[in-house]
Structure 1
Amino acid sequence: MRQVDSSSAFRYHWRIWRLIGAHPADPHTLWGRHYTVYATVWSIIFRLGMWLSVVVNFMLSTSLESFCESLSVAVPLTVENLKMFSLWRMRREILRTHEILHHLDGRIGSLTEQKIILEGIERAKYIFMCIFRAIAVILSIAILFLFVSKERLLMYPSWIPWDYKTSSFTVYLVTVMLHNIGFFENAMMVGNVDTYPGSCLIMLAAHTQALAHRVSRLGHDPPVTRYQCCAQLRRCIDDHQIIMTLFQSLEHSFSMSCFLQFFSTASAQCSICFFLIFVRIGIMQSVNMLFLFLTFTIQTLLLCYSAELVCHEGESLMRAVYDCNWLDQSVEFRRMIILMLARSQKPMIMRAGVFVPVQMNTFRMVCKGAYSMLTLLNEMHNSADG
């Protein structure tokens, strides 16, 4: 049975974080010795520069239409930078979760458990690739829109400190290239920040499922004595405590990030829907905004799906306690299995911002909140026309 490495599900995430200045390199290398300078320059150019560009453009909005168009970019980018800062602040605790996952990898005792973990790794990688492909499609459509447009436009509404519209074509071309590079980098950051919590939750669900399988097999192997069965149960109880510690660590690390994502999704859905429904725009721009809407929605949907997986596997663990052969075991075994049953009855519901459960019901509430804000914007639009 080959060794399983759960942290391989996050390999691409940490490579991108190192590239964008959020994960220091080895201090013994040339890059590592100058990484602080590299990260500072990168953050000023891409983090601060692009954020100021879209926020200033948002503040200079002169109509409800331009307000909503700028809002659909400014608020999500602001929230993504806050999420990035939140994850950067918690990176040491996040890295400690890798050690816990490595420990749980060492507890795998059968091919079935190994298969469960490998499927979790593949699922996390698949979601990561799907999100980045969706982002690539959005950026490609935005670039295509620039080519077919007769006006001098940028990929997304932004403030530029020079007049690129009336300047020479060379100035406009350089402006577009710099602007596109900035958005490409921010797109990498967005994809990374939005998929990492979900990937961690998927691996937590996989290890909970593997533990449930281990518990359900207790007492069903004839060669195992009662004493050995008690020892196996003790290890399962220890693993359950480790999994709960991992769950609490992830909840503490991602609580603010998930809460910000809910807010970002609601505001983006509202502003994009208003722009698509009430503003006359071309087909290419409509397609671009539609894909942007779908990506924001799917990112939050996948986060809630991953959290639901954890909750579901926690319930499966409770059912696995009943599936073990506890009737033929010793009194000590029965006492311990009752203790584990009591602990597994607590639902593994992750909470964002301390009080908001990360569930599919919350996702529906976010969509309803976006619709309520859209109704308010529509009333403002009608009153302005009147």
Structure 2
Amino acid sequence: MLKLLKNSGDPFDSALGPTHFGLQFWVLMQKNRRNLYNALHISALIFVLSQYVELWIIRKDLELAMRNLSVTMLSTVCVFKAGTFVFWEKSWSELLDYVSNLEVKQLSKKDPLTKNIIDEYTRYSRKVTYFYRVLITATVFVVIMAPLFSFLSSVEYRDRIRNGTVPYPEVLSSWVPFDRTRGFGYWVVSIEQAFVCFYGGGVVANFDCNAVVIMSFFAGQLRLLSANCDRLFDDGDKLVTYKTAMKRIKECHYHHLYLMKYTAVLNSLLSPVLFLYVIICSLMICASAIQLTTEGTGNMQRIWIAEYLMALIVQLFLYCWHGNEVLYMSNQVDAGVYSSAWWSQEVRVRRSLLLLGGQLRKSVVFTAGPFAKLNVATFVAILKGSYSYFTLLENNKED
């Protein structure tokens, strides 16, 4: 497990080493045995449908329905992430190849500044990946072990189970066409649900880490582009020939054009997934908050809900924070043009430099569907909306 958490993949693969390993291990990137791997994803989809069936059956029990709803919504997002990744695997592979090839090309030039910037965002990406994998792994284990902790936490609860007045605690809530409350059926369902938890945790961890690492890559590359623009003409004391100046300007043009192209590709891949997540995130956070404040909720269940709630908020924050970082760097990248020694160049070069400065003014905005932008303001707005829903439901409960 520690190897899965810390694996760096190919040491020459820079920032994407751990994500390459994770995507292949959790069969999101499928090179062989496509039918077998797709059967696994389809099985997960069927399980999510069974959760919706169970939700309809227990709809009159508010406490059970809220617990089922909070997990079912996250399961839906998880299956949607896996499905879209497999469906758009060709586009993801093209994007990942661009990231790896660009870094290899840049590092081959042995430029100290380039190497420092790449190493900096690579180390940062590794830390975020490790932290997020640990968080998701902890959440998965808490969810799986919650029934056991609930069983051991109260003598009265164990007596009620032995008397048959309450069923055995479940890992998740899903429908099956046989009795899952006792005996062999209970163990079959528990093993199935534990496996689904591992599957879902792996998909969420690797999909999100992959997206966040690529966002960090774009922020770092925009920073590197700004630094390259700043040193287009060195310090201005030495003469830079027209041919050399135009070559450097051309390289900055192409660097920025390809960054714009592949940020658009990444946004097209993430936007539908995050649109669904942003829509239901407020409901999931609200549902978890209501369960935490509901009387009769056991201590172990509160721990489970708190861990689950923290994972939801961290997941949303990672996307909004790194989307905000890319937006900020895209708005700052043209500063390198104006801080360069442009005054030392002839008129022809200045005109070309002016065109480059105009191109670099384009902002990179990642979106969640057609309505929401991935930035810190959106994160705060979602938390405010969740609190508003929570307050409204609490007031209605009191009335």
Q: For the superposition of Structure 1 and Structure 2, which TM-score range results when normalised by the shorter chain?
A: 0.7 to 0.9
Query: Which residue of 200, 209, 216 corresponds with 1:195?
Result: 209
Residue pair 2:178, 2:185 contacting (<8 A) in 1 also: no
How far 1:146 moved relative to its partner?
Answer: 2.3
Alignment of 1:237-276 (within 5 A): 237-276=253-292
Query: Which residue of 300, 309, 316 corresponds with 2:316?
Result: 300
1:225 aligned residue: 240
How far 1:51 moved relative to its partner?
Answer: 0.8
2:336 aligned residue: 320
Report how many residues are paired: 369
Equivalent position amino acid for 2:221 in 1: H
Residue pair 1:50, 1:183 contacting (<8 A) in 2 also: no
- Deviation digits for residues 258-290 of structure 1, max 9, x if unmatched? 222212321210110011112421111101110
1:51 aligned residue: 48
Residue pair 1:104, 1:239 contacting (<8 A) in 2 also: no
- Deviation digits for residues 42-95 of structure 1, max 9, x if unmatched? 1233x1243123222222222222221111111111122223222322221222
Alignment CA distance shift 1:381-1:63 (3 Å): farther
Alignment of 1:64-143 (within 5 A): 64-105=62-103, 106-107=105-106, 109=109, 110-143=111-144
Between the aligned partners of 1:12 and 1:220, the Cα distance in structure 2 is: 37
Alignment of 1:127-166 (within 5 A): 127-148=128-149, 149=151, 150=158, 151=161, 152-165=168-181
Q: What TM-score do the two structures reach when normalised by structure 2? A: 0.85
- Please report the RMSD computed on the Cα atoms of aligned residues, expressed in angstroms: 2.3
How far 1:379 moved relative to its partner?
Answer: 4.1
How far 1:173 moved relative to its partner?
Answer: 3.4
2:180 counterpart SS class: coil
1:346 aligned residue: 362
Equivalent position amino acid for 2:30 in 1: P
Between the aligned partners of 1:22 and 1:232, the Cα distance in structure 2 is: 39
- Deviation digits for residues 8-57 of structure 1, max 9, x if unmatched? 433443444334443222xxxxxx2xx13312331233x12431232222
Alignment CA distance shift 1:5-1:94 (3 Å): farther
Alignment CA distance shift 1:7-1:243 (3 Å): farther
Structure 1, 206-215 or 346-355: larger mean CA deviation: 346-355
Equivalent position amino acid for 2:210 in 1: Y
Alignment CA distance shift 1:186-1:103 (3 Å): closer
Structure 2: give runs of 5+ residues left out of the alignment: 1-9, 152-157, 162-167
Query: Which residue of 301, 307, 313 corresponds with 1:285?
Result: 301
Between the aligned partners of 2:370 and 2:106, the Cα distance in structure 1 is: 31
Residue pair 1:65, 1:279 contacting (<8 A) in 2 also: no
Query: Which residue of 177, 191, 211 corresponds with 2:225?
Result: 211
Equivalent position amino acid for 1:77 in 2: S
- Deviation digits for residues 125-178 of structure 1, max 9, x if unmatched? 22222122112222333344322313511223333332232x33x543343223
How far 1:102 moved relative to its partner?
Answer: 4.0
Alignment CA distance shift 1:331-1:107 (3 Å): farther
Residue pair 2:270, 2:368 contacting (<8 A) in 1 also: yes
Equivalent position amino acid for 1:209 in 2: R
* Structure 2 residue 28 is the aligned partner of structure 1 residue 22: yes
- Aligned sequence identity (%): 20
How far 1:251 moved relative to its partner?
Answer: 1.4
- Deviation digits for residues 210-248 of structure 1, max 9, x if unmatched? 111111112225555232123212211221111111211
Structure 1, 65-74 or 193-202: larger mean CA deviation: 193-202
Alignment CA distance shift 1:57-1:279 (3 Å): farther
Equivalent position amino acid for 2:64 in 1: S
1:327 counterpart SS class: helix
1:29 aligned residue: none
1:175 aligned residue: 189
2:326 aligned residue: 310
Between the aligned partners of 2:91 and 2:142, the Cα distance in structure 1 is: 38
How far 1:334 moved relative to its partner?
Answer: 0.9
Residue pair 2:14, 2:100 contacting (<8 A) in 1 also: no
Between the aligned partners of 1:96 and 1:271, the Cα distance in structure 2 is: 39
Equivalent position amino acid for 1:81 in 2: V
Equivalent position amino acid for 1:193 in 2: F
2:137 counterpart SS class: helix
Structure 1: give runs of 5+ residues left out of the alignment: 26-31
* 4+ residue segments displaced more than 4 Å: 4-8, 221-224
Structure 1, 198-207 or 100-109: larger mean CA deviation: 100-109
- Deviation digits for residues 279-315 of structure 1, max 9, x if unmatched? 4211111011101101110111011111111112212
Q: What TM-score do the two structures reach when normalised by structure 1? A: 0.88
Between the aligned partners of 1:156 and 1:325, the Cα distance in structure 2 is: 63
